[in-house]
Amino acid sequence: MSVKSTTSSPRRRGTWRLARCLPALVAAAVVATGAAPVVAADPHDAVYEPVHTGANPAASAVRWTRVQPPRPERCEEATPGVPLQSQIDALPDGTALCLPPGRYPGTVTVSHPITLWGTPEAVIVSSRVGSTVHLTGSGARLAGFTIDGSGTRFDTVDAALKVTAEDVIVEGLVVENATFGILVERSRRVTVRGNDVVGHSDVAFGLRGDGIRLWETYDSVVEHNRLTDSRDMVVWYSRGNRIEHNLVVRGRYGTHFMYSHDNQVVRNRYVDNVVGVFVMYSRDLNLDGNVLAGSGGAAGMGIGLKESGNVRVTGNALIRDTVGIYVDTSPLNEADHNHFERNAIRFAASAVVFHGRASRNHFTDNSFRDNLTQVECRGGTDARDAEWRGNDFDDYAGYDFDGDGYGDVPYELRSMSANLIGHHPGLAYFRGGLALFAVDTVNHVLPLFHPTTLLIDPRPRMRSDFSDVEMAGNFDAD
């Protein structure tokens, strides 16, 4: 496989023309096709670039490369056979302890501002009781080594690494065989960067722990990590955090927010999870430039909002999800609005689903193509209560006589099958089949019944053309 990666320059932002990049977008869903996930990034300055090789776009993906944090210039070598805890405790503040390759028994606590560094061959091994490494010292740094395992209790949240400190850095670790991966609690200004967290693919989601979990954590950064086969990445009761350039594969929730305000979710890859990003009871979030692909199954969705407001969803690519965007009673606060701008939704069973109500949601300059259903309403919702303007719909049958790129007549969505599914959700089982296709075809040819108008866009785009839109460096125009 040929993979092109750029690490020597700042994050590149490329404009992209969606028609040219669709094969690369399909490649982002490669895990769902059964191919192994490959992703390329520099944990400190990564550019994710799809590379199309051969006739099958799903045969190529993007590569994630772990980068080993550099060895500290002044570093005291750990002594094999001497308990690691005593060596850590004896180390003066501001100095470093380097672990030679080997296995070191846990449990270990880092309680003062030191650096603990090693290569992946230096492994701190769980005692199978409690958390394996506990970081309590503000200003400390853990880098490069492997943490193998943790206790198995969910009630005590046994983790490979538990952080309860401020101004700490956790980077380049390999975490494996643990119940929970990296748990950050009641902390501020924590950086979790470039770690590789591997979960348990052979057990049900409910028996796995979270790969990365922020709990009452503020002003922190989670960036360039890879989570594979874990349960969720969780951000609960946390404010002012940035989730950027992570790859989350084969989990349940790619990122799950609850009661967490003023957070940023930027340029992440969520591939083959049940849900990409789900936002509950939260306000003032930005979801920008992410790829959410292959969120499948009956509960599959790319982005979901529940009773959340002032959420901006911009420049995201949602590819082959059961539901592209799910909006449940959002926004809840009467003063709030949600904005969905310049997103591309492709190959969804339902591009947008409303439940509860649709008012104060604004859809502007989005592209809806190759979806079975553009909009679905549940629970008596009326999608016309949302604002639709300047969106591109592949089933628009209007015209553009003045040549300004926008239709001269409104786009009006009417679908007898969508009306039936809205009133009888069980009929969704037949979506894409001959029966519902026949219902829409017959109603179109012999309009004996007038289906309810689901939405009206007074000024639809005539084509999918996002060449003037930055997709946050997701794909290169070349």
According to the model, what pLDDT value does residue 339 have? 98
pLDDT class of 248 with cuts at 50, 70, 90 = very high
* Whether 290 contacts 265, CB under 8 Å: yes
pLDDT greater than 90 at residue 447: no
* Weakest mean pLDDT among 199-203, 294-298, 441-445: 441-445
According to the model, what pLDDT value does residue 420 have? 56
* Whether 181 contacts 203, CB under 8 Å: no
Region 117-137 average pLDDT? 96
* Weakest mean pLDDT among 29-33, 78-82, 168-172: 29-33
Distance CA 184, CA 265 (A): 18
Region 263-276 average pLDDT? 97
According to the model, what pLDDT value does residue 463 have? 79
pLDDT class of 423 with cuts at 50, 70, 90 = low
Region 38-66 average pLDDT? 42
* Whether 218 contacts 239, CB under 8 Å: yes
Region 125-134 average pLDDT? 94
pLDDT greater than 80 at residue 244: yes
Distance CA 302, CA 274 (A): 8
Region 146-172 average pLDDT? 96
pLDDT class of 449 with cuts at 50, 70, 90 = low
CA 323 to chain centre: 15
pLDDT greater than 80 at residue 34: no
* Weakest mean pLDDT among 14-23, 212-221, 310-319, 345-354: 14-23
Neighbours of 201 (CB within 10 A): 10
pLDDT greater than 60 at residue 160: yes
According to the model, what pLDDT value does residue 54 have? 33
Instruction: Determine phi and psi for 358, rounding to 5 degrees.
Output: -120, -5
According to the model, what pLDDT value does residue 379 have? 80
HSE value, Cβ hemisphere, 13 Å, CA-based, for 316 = 28
According to the model, what pLDDT value does residue 32 have? 33
According to the model, what pLDDT value does residue 27 have? 45
- How many residues belong to the chain? 478
Region 214-232 average pLDDT? 97
Give the 3-state secondary structure of residue 338: strand
According to the model, what pLDDT value does residue 444 have? 57
Tell me what percent of the residues of the chain surpass a pLDDT of 70. 76
What average pLDDT does the chain have? 82
pLDDT greater than 50 at residue 3: no
Map out the domains of the chain with their CATH numbers.
68-250 (2.160.20.10)
pLDDT greater than 60 at residue 398: yes
According to the model, what pLDDT value does residue 198 have? 95
Region 341-369 average pLDDT? 95
pLDDT class of 466 with cuts at 50, 70, 90 = low
Higher-confidence residue: 370 or 472?
370
pLDDT class of 106 with cuts at 50, 70, 90 = confident
Distance CA 125, CA 107 (A): 8
pLDDT greater than 50 at residue 476: no
Higher-confidence residue: 203 or 24?
203
pLDDT class of 323 with cuts at 50, 70, 90 = very high
Region 62-84 average pLDDT? 89
HSE value, Cβ hemisphere, 13 Å, CA-based, for 253 = 21
pTM of the model: 0.81
According to the model, what pLDDT value does residue 430 have? 59
Region 320-339 average pLDDT? 96
pLDDT class of 426 with cuts at 50, 70, 90 = low
pLDDT class of 53 with cuts at 50, 70, 90 = very low
* Whether 76 contacts 95, CB under 8 Å: yes
pLDDT greater than 60 at residue 230: yes
Region 91-99 average pLDDT? 97
The DSSP H or E segment spanning 182 is strand 180-188
What separation in angstroms does the CA of 461 have from each of 346, 392, 397, 413? 16, 5, 11, 14
